[in-house]
Amino acid sequence: MNKKTIRDLDFKGKRVFVRVDYNVPMDKAGNITDDTRISATLPTLRYLLDQGAALVLAAHLGRPKGGPMAEFSLAPIADHLAALVGSSVAFAPDCVGEETESLARALAPGQILMLENLRFHAEEEKNDPVFAKKLAALADIAVNDAFGVSHRAHASVEGITKFLPTVAGFLMEKELNFLGRAVTNPERPYVAIIGGAKVTDKIGVIANLLDKVDVLLIGGGMANTFFSAQGHSIGKSLVEADKISLAKDLIEQAKEKGVTLLLPTDVVVADKFSADASYRTTSVDSIGPEEMALDIGSISSTAFANAVRDAKTIVWNGPMGVFEMDAFAKGTEAVARAVANSHAVSIVGGGDSVAALEKVGLADQITHISTGGGASLEFLEGKVLPGVAALLDK
């Protein structure tokens, strides 16, 4: 990685603005239901505190519109973080302004201040330079440990780097190292598994991976568009009619580049999109006119698992079916087991893929679980991420 990290600067007696990605799921009572993103930043926070820094933490939660909304307050997250780090975390009622500045100025080495939701201000997402300068006024140095938002040119991610020297935290460094290796120097055979509902969301990734991988597996709703491109009747399955010719092109490109493109050969079909629908497994050329494909079948699951077995690098993003419904989760779970049991460097991104691994209890057997859904996709697509580009070069 050619970017400076927190190992490269002296933090003793400094106030450090740390951009974290604490956009975590919460229930109606304000309890955090999955704190993976918070605990993933602890090595960075502990390192900075050990170096004698005071920390100003900044994050967003949800998509508040037009100003502060109580359900999107970061106050419960500050409390949760305090329990994880074992010391108090002060909370600022806003992320900018006089009161926040005086709270930041009063911080002693080893203390933590958490700012209220950045997105309570529209200027954050507009990358407003005046707002970025106000954020920068809270600290001496900035650290970006929020890979998950680094594909966005927002004030706390990209704008602040114009006013403060900004380096990568350990989580950012880890993401860039693993994803960077998958993009530039993967061990082979290199297998990519791409799922999810829509081809539209992953076109760039598929096109970019065709130049890099040895084997590409496609499952989930997006496979239906490829089935249509091959001339199969797919009943009432989800299909992107305007992407069928593109799917044909991608199939041709795979042939030209010598990439093995594996599509499901059997699918689980149902008479309606419902957890209690009646369903059956059938080959892709026998889908009835009133049926819809909601998962890959057992033959395909086995073929996908076999394709993964000898891989040295695996990238997986997206489920193989309607994973939220138990009847249509078997394909995704089979892929999760195959990836976890492989001896490859495995990189998994996307909430559903990670949820599948946790459901089958195998998340700890994955080399790297990416915390950035959209960011990891754009990185795999070969795009430059503004938040990464703005970090100090070594």
Does the active-site annotation cover 231?
Answer: no
Nearest 10 degrees: Cα torsion 202, 33, 345, 255 = -20
Burial class for 298, CB neighbours closer than 10 Å (0-12, 13-18, 19+): middle
Kindly name the residue from 15, 19, 37, 174 that is annotated as catalytic.
37
Kindly name the residue from 62, 374, 382, 383 that is annotated as catalytic.
374
Does the active-site annotation cover 37?
Answer: yes
Kindly state the tokens that stand for 378: 């754009």
Distance, in Å, from the CA atom of 335 to the CA atom of 352, rounded to the nearest integer, reads 12
Greatest alpha-carbon span in the chain: 70
Distance, in Å, from the CA atom of 265 to the CA atom of 279, rounded to the nearest integer, reads 17
Does the active-site annotation cover 349?
Answer: no
Q: What is the sign, positive or negative, of the torsion defined by CA atoms of 72, 78, 83, 84?
A: positive
Q: Is 51 helix (H, G, I), strand (E, B) or coil?
A: coil
Kindly name the residue from 4, 198, 312, 359 that is annotated as catalytic.
198
Please, how many CA atoms are within 13 Å of residue 322, restricted to the half-sphere of its CB?
Answer: 20
Adjacency order of strands within the sheet including 266-270: 279-283, 266-270, 292-296
Q: How many CB atoms lie within 10 A of CB 365?
A: 15
Kindly name the residue from 13, 52, 288, 351 that is annotated as catalytic.
351
Does the active-site annotation cover 198?
Answer: yes
Q: Which helix (H) or strand (E) holds 129?
A: helix 129-136
Cα end-to-end span (Å), the chain:
9
- The catalytic residue positions are 37, 198, 351, 374
